[in-house]
């Protein structure tokens, strides 16, 4: 067993693991149950996919040759590698009805018996699943947006020739991977010859350390023996920009910060427990970036677009989050009814 997956609602969890060549999938929630009840509801993957129990994981690696991810709150994608036959296997599983569908098998002779699926991700926008192997192979499984039981396309590609480690998918677009002494960045780029998208490396950071990213955050952490690097990743080019560097005086393997950067959690590999840090000083220093009077105005931040919307009397002004420049061409005009009083009508909510 390696990872515990969680659905988007946060009420269901899944574990894919291997036990003496037998692949298992266990789905559970927050309600307590006995070991007998848990085992009774497990999915026997070998039986469902008609596989033998000859798969042998690598000694010293915690990877179980099987991964999974939630597609919806109840449907999971499961991917495994049967190294005895050099066969990639994946399928979809409904945890409520216990139905297995979308079965797919493909023998890949170019793969090594030491290869295995490292991580898989669900792209909710494009209705696609991405699964990545340790030695650089990738499968893309596209589903019918109206019926997730139907597979539209399955694509295999080799994205690199180096071993891939810890990886995260940022904003469903940028794949960040740890590889030996480098941090690699990939994104899908359109090839005009084949008229298809392929994962292409577009950036590299030369850091030998552990990589960490929290979904919904805008920064990645790279922890080395001496220093911890913080990089911001924008939503346009997805190019990492160094934000801050600190000495690793805690001698930790990984440092975790939330999106609000109020608490920090550090832990060290092969050590029991973890440490929690809180911010010692907090100030309310503010800088005036707009001289006009914004009384009775309201604002909301749209991080995905990199914009801040502010309601004025009869329109909504749009500002760039990075430099607070007003985007006149993106202004939203609102036709209000004529006022019958001394006070003009104005936008009161949006």
Residues 15 and 154 in one domain: yes
Q: Is 337 a member of any domain?
A: yes
Query: If you average pLDDT over residues 91-105, what whole number do you get?
Result: 95
Domain with 53 in it: what CATH number? 2.130.10.10
pLDDT digits (tens, 9 = 90+) for 265-319: 998 888 888 999 887 776 666 777 778 888 888 889 888 888 999 998 888 999 9
Instruction: Calculate Rg over the CA atoms of the chain.
Output: 24
Helix (H) or strand (E) holding 46: helix 45-49
How many whole angstroms separate alpha carbon 22 and alpha carbon 92?
Answer: 18
Average pLDDT over residues 6-11: 90
pTM of the full structure: 0.78
Domain ends where: 158, 179, 207? Answer: 158
Q: What residues form DSSP beta bridges with 141?
A: 129, 154
- The b-or-e profile of 260-287 (16+ CB within 10 A means b, else e) is eeeebebeeeeeeeeeeeeeeeeeeeee
Tell me whether residue 265 is in a domain.
no
219 found inside a domain: no
Nearest to 164 by CA among 156, 153, 175: 175
CA distance 189 to 173: 10
Residue 157, number of CB atoms within 10 A of its CB: 13
Residue 184 lies in a domain: no
Task: Answer for the pair 56, 97: CB distance below 8 angstroms, yes or no.
Answer: no
Q: Examine residue 275 and state whether it is found in any structural domain, yes or no.
A: no
**Over residues 200-204, mean pLDDT:** 94
Q: For 313-336, how does the pLDDT look when each residue is reduced to its tens digit (9 = 90+)?
A: 888 999 998 888 889 899 999 888
CA distance 183 to 83: 28
Concatenating the DSSP letter of every residue in 300-340 gives EEETTTTEEEEE-SSEEEEEETTT--B-GGG-EE--PPPPS
Q: Is residue 296 included in any domain, yes or no?
A: yes
Q: Quick check: is 343 in a domain?
A: yes
Let me know whether 9 and 154 are in one domain. yes
**Count: domains in the chain:** 2
What is the domain range of residue 67? Answer: 4-158
| Domain end point (choices 113, 128, 158) | 158
Coil, strand or helix at 45: helix
Question: With contact defined as beta carbons under 8 Å apart, do 74 and 96 qualify?
Answer: yes
Domain boundary among 131, 158, 185: 158
The number of residues in the chain equals 350
Query: How far is CA 253 from each of CA 72, 211, 233, 249, rounded to the nearest angstrom?
Result: 33, 10, 22, 11
């Amino acid at each position: 067993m390696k990872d515990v997956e969680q659905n988007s609602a946060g009420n269901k969890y899944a574990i894919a693991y291997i036990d003496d060549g037998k692949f298992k999938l266990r789905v559970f929630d927050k309600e307590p149950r006995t070991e007998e009840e848990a085992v009774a509801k497990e999915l026997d993957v070998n039986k469902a996919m008609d596989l033998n129990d000859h798969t042998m994981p690598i000694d010293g690696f915690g990877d179980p040759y099987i991964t999974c991810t939630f597609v919806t709150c109840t449907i999971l994608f499961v991917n495994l590698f049967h190294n005895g036959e050099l066969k990639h296997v994946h399928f979809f599983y409904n945890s409520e009805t216990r139905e297995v569908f979308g079965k797919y098998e493909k023998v890949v002779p170019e793969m090594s018996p030491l290869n295995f699926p490292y991580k898989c991700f669900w792209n909710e926008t494009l209705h696609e699943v991405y699964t990545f192997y340790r030695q650089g192979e990738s499968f893309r499984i596209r589903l019918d947006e109206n019926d997730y039981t139907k597979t539209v396309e399955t694509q295999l590609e080799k994205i690199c020739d180096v071993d891939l480690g810890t990886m995260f998918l940022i904003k469903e677009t940028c794949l960040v991977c740890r590889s030996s002494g480098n941090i690699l960045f990939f994104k899908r780029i359109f090839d005009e010859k084949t008229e298809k998208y392929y994962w292409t490396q577009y950036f590299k950071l030369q850091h030998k350390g552990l990589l960490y990213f929290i979904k919904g955050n805008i920064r990645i952490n790279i922890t080395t023996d001496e220093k911890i690097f913080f990089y911001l990743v924008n939503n346009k080019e997805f190019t990492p920009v160094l934000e801050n560097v600190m000495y690793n005086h805690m001698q930790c393997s990984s440092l975790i910060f939330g999106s609000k950067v109020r608490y920090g959690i550090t832990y060290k590999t092969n050590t029991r427990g973890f440490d929690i840090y809180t911010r010692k000083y907090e100030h309310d220093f503010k800088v005036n970036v707009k001289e006009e009077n914004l009384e009775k105005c309201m604002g909301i931040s749209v991080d995905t677009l990199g914009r801040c919307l502010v309601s004025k009397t009869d329109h909504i002004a749009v500002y760039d989050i990075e430099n607070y420049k007003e985007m006149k061409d993106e202004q939203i005009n609102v036709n209000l009814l004529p006022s019958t009083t001394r006070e003009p009508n104005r936008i009161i909510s949006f």
